Amino acid sequence: MTQLRRQMLEELERRNYSANTIRSYIRAIEEYARYFKRSPEKLGLDEIRSYQAHLIGKRKLAANTVAQRLAALRFLYVKTLRRSWDLELTPYPKRPVRLPKVLSQEEVAGLIDAADSLFHRAILMTLYATGVRREELVRLQVSDINSRRMVVHVRGGKGRKDRDVMLSPQLLFVLRKHLRGLHRKPKQWLFPGGSWHTGQVPISLNVPYQACRIAAERAGIDKRVHPHLLRHCFATHLLEAGTDLRTIQMLLGHRDLEQTAVYLHVSARHLSSVDSPLDSLELASLKKRK
């Protein structure tokens, strides 16, 4: 490990960046160094601008991906190397604003019922019942399931913040059944990895993806189903059931209410409760048709 990599890692960890962000930032800097075949310490603004043009023009990367690479470079130069950074000379690309896609409650039920094993069904139900992120799911521990208070304790969410979410009685029943069905009672992880799920390590981040993909195929759902989609479903269905935005924000672990407000745009209940201004017009052309 180079000294620069070690310094950047220490700075990221000191500022409580998530493991996912740390991995992506380090990988972005490694690619940047390989592109110029030189240490980033010997590169400057001209190279950064040239690299940004390469990512957009040659590699045709999405705006979100380019913005993430620039964020990693900015962290390296500003926080680690203590250099200045002029945002006007390296503007972030405009990110397209896309609404999250969601499944109906009937589709979610079909997805869960189509799981190919109790292990996968427990994963799918936990994702939907709690709205946890994939990274949070794999780190859940048996001790995080509090049946007395009927809450699930989520450790180290985004920004390294803990939070509690409600524990569904149906989920509790399935989790108990899931734990009884394991070859060896887990000492720590709710979803243990390793051979036959008996290892002392959690499942990999790929397992929830596989659970979603296999169940979607078996259920005949033609949409792209992934763990974060079930998080969107959790929030949207809560909103449609009348839960207020502030509560949903806390359950999701969002820093800003603005992040949570996006679900107003996909909630069928909220959209259908508003009449179009067209319906208040007295149109002679429509009267003639009647």
**Tens digits of residue pLDDT in 99-141:** 889 999 999 999 999 999 999 999 999 999 999 999 999 999 9
| Residue 254 annotated as catalytic | yes
- Please write the tens of the pLDDT for every residue from 18-71: 888 899 999 999 999 999 999 999 999 899 999 999 999 999 998 889 999 999
Catalytic residue among 120, 231, 232, 237: 231
Catalytic residue among 133, 178, 197, 232: 133
Catalytic residue among 25, 77, 128, 263: 263
Q: Which pLDDT belongs to residue 19?
A: 81
- Rounded CA gap, 102 and 240, in Å? 12
Catalytic residue among 153, 163, 228, 270: 228
| Residue 51 annotated as catalytic | no
Share of the chain above pLDDT 90, in %: 68
| Residue 183 annotated as catalytic | no
| Residue 265 annotated as catalytic | no
**Full set of structural domains in the chain with CATH:** 3-80 (1.10.150.130), 105-272 (1.10.443.10)
Any bridge partners for residue 146, and if so which? Answer: 151
| Residue 158 annotated as catalytic | yes
pTM above the 0.85 mark? Answer: no
Q: Which pLDDT belongs to residue 288?
A: 61
- Rounded CA gap, 6 and 140, in Å? 29
Q: Which pLDDT belongs to residue 230?
A: 97
| Residue 269 annotated as catalytic | no
Catalytic residue among 158, 163, 218, 270: 158
